[in-house]
Structures are given as structure tokens and as C-alpha cells.
Structure 1
């Protein structure tokens, strides 16, 4: 159980870093309001793809293959990510609007993603990968 928690937390950190590095890269080029929106969307997409690949293989031990099965699972995984994304974007945006600094924005992102990932694990365990019954 502890190994699963550590692995999940590590993968959340990896996906968060991918997300934030993507955002930093885009914000270095476009620092206006549109750049902020593009950075959030693109960072979220890269973080989602990274986390899905890691969770599927190493958290839920899912070996299902095939385009149809994989599409269905990724679709459900993405839908459960809507809750994570709303928590993440809301927290990140609140910090950005309140302090208007990249450090505050990233702190808001980390806080939002931490809460969101806890919620997401529970949704994924129940709806996306229901054959893996592990409590965290």
C-alpha cells in the first residue's frame, strides 16, 4: 500500500512538472492573457497524457490493449480529469489574479493539482480501472 501511495505521488509530481514546464515554455514566448490561456490548456494536455501512461501501467496495472478498449479508458480517464482540471485551473487562476506573479501562479497550480489528483485517483479507481481495488 505504501509503495502504491509513493508511486502515485511521484507520478503526480512528474505530471505536474511536465505541466508546469510546458506552461513556462509557452509563457516565455506569449506572456499576455492569450498566452496564459494557451499555457494552461497545453500544460494540462501534456500533464494528462503523461499521467495516464504512468497510471495505466504502474498504478492500476492495466494491460488492456486494443484501440477500442484504450479509447474508452482514455475517454473515461479524461472525463474524470475534468474535476481535477476545474480544481487545478480555479486554484491556479485565483492565485494568478490575486498576486499576478508566476511564483504565485505555480503555487496555486501545485495546490490545485494536489487536491485534484487525490480526487482523480478515487474516480479512476471506481470508473476507469474498476478491476484494481486498492484503497488509498
Structure 2
């Protein structure tokens, strides 16, 4: 139970970072592809932050060297592709349906919550399993 609570708290931190970066970009850049660029940037920040948090606090992972850490991050990113599509589908879907920033972010939060629940299982099985 403690692991689930810790994972949920770390997911909230990564979600806040993702949405925060998106909001900063939307407020500071009003050019072409504003929303798409903000979502990509938020996703990148969330991915990096969540990797660091997961490997340290959830899976207690210690890479043998930089190469091992890099390969693990690639697998981590790979397990995140499908979950990212879920997150983006919710965020862009809510943006399309409701056309407000608040509802787009709500869609993002819902999509991230679903994605993180699935991602935990994928990472436990494929990313951070013992060699």
C-alpha cells in the first residue's frame, strides 16, 4: 500500500510539472502550433522527471554505468509511447470538445492518471526488472 501511495504522489508531482510547463508555454508563446508545442514540452519534462523519480523512489534502480542508464531510459520511454497516446488523446479530445484551457488540462490529468497506472505495470515488468 505504501508503494501505491508513493507512486501516486510522484505521479502528481510529474503531472503538475507537465501541466505547469504547458501553461507557461501557452501564456508566453502565441504562435503557430501553440498547444501542440506546449503539450510536447510538458510531456518531455514529465517524462524526464518521472523517470528520475520512479527509478529512485519506486523501483530503487541503480544503473551499472551511464550506458546502462541510457538503455534503461530508452526502454522507459518505449513503455511510455502507448500511455502517452492515451494522455494526448484525452488532452486533445477535451480541447476539441470543450475548447477551454481548463478542460484541456482536466483531460490531460485524466489521461495522465490512466497512463501512469498502466505504465507502472509495464515498467515493473519490462523496464526495471532484475537482470
Question: Which TM class, normalised by the smaller chain length?
Answer: over 0.9
RMSD: 1.3
Structure 1 unaligned residues grouped into runs of 5+: none
Q: Using the alignment, how far apart are the partners of 2:38 and 2:29 within structure 1?
A: 9
Matched, 1:28 2:19: no
Contact 1:89 1:109 in 2 (8 A): yes
TM-score (norm 1): 0.92
Q: Deviations over 1:85-121 (max 9, x none)?
A: 1000000000000011011001000100000001100
Report the equivalent of 1:70. 69
Structure 2: gaps of 5 or more residues: none
Are residue 3 (structure 1) and residue 2 (structure 2) matched?
yes
Q: Residues 52 and 26 from structure 1, CA distance in 2 versus in 1: closer, same or farther, beyond 3 angstroms?
A: same
1: CA distance between counterparts of 2:24 and 2:16? 12
Paired residue for 1:41?
40
**Count of residue pairs brought into register by the alignment:** 131
Secondary structure of the residue aligned to 2:33 is helix
Q: Say whether the 8 Å CA contact 1:30–1:36 is kept in structure 2.
A: no
TM-score relative to the length of structure 2: 0.96
